[in-house]
Structure 1
Amino acid sequence: MSMDKLAIEHFLHGQIDCWNRGDKEGFFAHYRSVSTNGLSIEYLGKPQHDAWQVLEGMWAQQQPKIRVEVRQCIVNGNEAACHHLNAFREQEGGIETIELYRFEEGKLFVRYFINM
């Protein structure tokens, strides 16, 4: 079962919307809906950890400080590339990321490129 473009866009935009509104339950529900057979999250250049723990940590540490602004989101087939500005809520500026998403037979693979 491969995901179509609309389903991928629904996930991508929905999880960002939940993040920005502080809806943790909704945010995790979006991830669960596309990763029934597994979830992999990789921060390029860092060791891999349990993806659900990574999401929990990201939510706890970053969600209160960061609002995600979508610069570009391109879906081709079962993959998506997103350019985001992780804008600081309390001050000017932010951190640019390129995020790659691959949807494969109920598995979601995410790769984060962070411009430090």
Structure 2
Amino acid sequence: MTAGVILAGLGLAAVGFAGRYALRQLPNVTKTVNEAMKNLPKFDMENMANSKYYKGGFDPKMNRREAALILGISPSASKQKVKDAFKKVMAVNHPDRGGSPYIASKINEAKDFLEKHSH
């Protein structure tokens, strides 16, 4: 019984000393993290605008160009290509898998538009 109390006391003392050491090292860690953050590349909106992603929001009314951009296909794609692209894009963006319901509705709208207006 006495040995258990002594071991518990020694364990608490060890945790206390470890905590004290960690708190004393904290300023050094913070300084190191700040220096590392300075060396990271800057987030540049200009480069983001020139990336492969489309800049801007959705058009007020769906059109062939926007529908093709949403599905990632050519505006003159066949119905089969539209169907295949729809399945691929919807599999990634479906609300049941964590996607946005709004984005899913735009994907559906794009598919419907291209199927209705394709040759």
TM-score range, shorter chain: under 0.3
Considering only CA atoms, is the larger Rg found in Structure 1 or Structure 2?
2
More helix by share: 2
With a CA cutoff of 8 Å and minimum separation of 6, indicate the structure with the bigger relative contact order.
1
Query: How does the TM-score come out when normalised to structure 2?
Result: 0.26
More strand by share: 1
